[in-house]
Amino acid sequence: MPIVNEERLIKNFENLVSIYSPSKKEGKLAEYIKDYATKRHWDFTVDDANKATGGDTGNIICWLPGMSDEYVLVSAHMDTVEPAANKKILIEDGIIKSDGTTILGADDESGVAVILEVLDYFSSSEKPVVGIEAVFSISEEIGLIGAKNLDYSLIRSKYAYILDSGGPIGTAITRAPTHFNIDAKIYGVASHAGASPEKGVNAIKIAANAISRMRLGRIDQETTANIGLIHGGTAVNIVPDLVEVKGEARSLTESKVRELAEEMERCFKEAAEREGGRADVNRHLSHKGYSFSEEAKTVQEFAKAARAIGIEPRFVSSGGGSDANVYNQNGIEAIDVSTGMTDVHTTHEFIKISDMIKLAELMIELYRKWGV
Ligand SMILES: [Zn+2]
């Protein structure tokens, strides 16, 4: 008899992606999960992370006890990117996709559906070796803010698996970069562009000079930088006195990204000084990176479970961030695991049914044999 109930898993996935749940509006999706848990008598609570995020629900934390007192965390985020309203879901040749006018939302409802299946499996048959602590987080897509505001006093686990990346099943991200944001406000002096330009200091010119001196794009194999937003000026005949510029820098090596962020700040300040303007630069850590060898417990247990179901694990580094970064920053050893989601954040996004089944099998195996 197959371990995974394919029909139940796919039904849940279809139901979940059909609920409109953009960041800060995960409330309806949370209702679905809470209903589901209540009907099955699973123990759960909702924290008040939304007080900080302004959303309509907090993170859901759900517990299923195991044979020991130890818990291992598994998580997926409830929110999706846009466009996500009025989805039409198509299933063709074992592949689930949208009709091409919206995203699918496999990022990250595939993770949510798999977690529900794992909980369903263990609540209707054997007990897992360790307890399952499932976190359904909010507002991951707008800066991991559900995980950042999670009530960690409720969390029982030392180890975590975040089901929120792509690639063949058996892939896990064991290295992810430290991420800095750089927000600059550049002040010039306003003046009429035709009558008295010499009285003005052009903030757009300062920004342009600063940005042209920055190292941007791929700096090296593990380091990137970007200026992504620029906003300023009031009219074509006025020398602009304010420009706001937002950028970021990432690296797998923290010292490199710190240096790079400092350098970006310096470019703004020096350019402002040359032109007689001023730059206020706010450079702040968004989240720390992480790096694990194959000796790390989460990595070892994941590899063991993958091999047990006939999959060779793949450990990769990522240029992106996930809730796993935030868990690691909070002292919980976490890696980000592929659900098979493909072309996420586009209207071509899709997922294979067979991949979701494989991941559910892998996670069931993991909870069956954790630490054994
Ligand atoms: Zn995601």
Concerning whether 82 is annotated as a catalytic residue, the answer is no
Give the residue-averaged pLDDT of 166-171. 98
CA of 73 from ligand 1 middle (Å) equals 17
- Encoded amino acid at 365, one letter: E
Q: What is the pLDDT of residue 1?
A: 58
317-333 residue pLDDT tens: 998 899 999 999 999 99
Q: What is the spatial distance between Cα 242 and Cα 200, in angstroms, rounded to a whole number?
A: 12
Q: Which two tokens stand for residue 194?
A: 């035709």
Tell me the CA–centroid distance for residue 219 and ligand 1, in Å. 25
**What span, in angstroms and rounded, lies between the C-alpha atoms of 137 and 147?**
6
**Two structure tokens written together for 349:** 């996004």
* C-beta of residue 76 within 8 angstroms of C-beta of residue 162: yes
Average pLDDT of the chain is: 97
Q: What is the DSSP string of 54-97?
A: --S---EEEEE--SSS-EEEEEEE--B-SS-SS--EEEETTEEE
Integer Cα distance of 199 and 372 in angstroms: 75
CATH 3.30.70.360 location in the chain: 182-287
Say what the pLDDT of residue 239 is.
Answer: 98
Q: What is the pLDDT at residue 29? A: 98
Catalytic residue among 47, 117, 133, 140: 140
CA of 233 to the centre of ligand 1 (A): 35
- Helix 254-275 to helix 203-212 angle (10° resolution) is 140
Q: What integer pLDDT is reported at residue 333 of this predicted model?
A: 98
pLDDT at 176 over 80: yes
Residues of the chain with CATH 3.40.630.10: 6-176+289-369
Cα(164) to centroid(ligand 1), Å:
5
CA–centroid distance, residue 163 to ligand 1 (Å):
8
d(CA 319, CA 297): 23
Site of tokens 């602009």:
240
What mean pLDDT is predicted for residues 280-287?
A: 95
| Host H or E run for residue 175 | strand 171-176
181 burial level (CB within 10 Å; 0-12, 13-18, 19+)? middle
Q: Is residue 249 predicted with pLDDT exceeding 90?
A: yes
Quote the ligand 1 centre to 63 CA distance (angstroms). 22
Cα–Cα distance for residue pair 2/168, rounded to 1 Å: 21
Q: What's the whole-number mean pLDDT along residues 44-69?
A: 96
Reported as half-sphere exposure (CB side, CA atoms, 13 A), residue 198 has a value of 0
The pLDDT of residue 59:
98
**Angle value at C-alpha 100, between 94 and 105, nearest 5 degrees:** 65
Neighbours of 291 (CB within 10 A): 14
- Does the domain at 182-287 match CATH 3.40.50.2020? Answer given as no
Give the separation between CA 158 and CA 72, rounded to whole angstroms: 7
Q: How far is the CA of 340 from the centre of ligand 1 (A)?
A: 12
- Checking if the pLDDT of 2 tops 90, the result is no
Q: Is 86 left (phi over 0), alpha (psi -120 to 50) or beta?
A: left
Give the pTM: 0.90
pLDDT for residue 111 is more than 80: yes
Instruction: For ligand 1, an ion, list residues with CB under 5 A.
Output: 107-108, 164
Burial group, residue 89, by CB count within 10 angstroms (0-12, 13-18, 19+): middle
To the question of domain 6-176+289-369 being in CATH 3.40.630.10, the answer is: yes
Of these residues, 47, 79, 333, 336, which one is catalytic?
A: 79
d(CA 284, CA 147): 18
d(CA 166, CA 111): 11
Q: Give the C-alpha distances (Å, rounded to integers) separating 96 from 45, 87, 144, 324, 355.
A: 31, 12, 26, 26, 11
Q: Which pLDDT score is estimated for 320?
A: 87
User: For a pLDDT cut of 90, what percent of the chain falls above it?
Assistant: 98
140 has catalytic annotation: yes
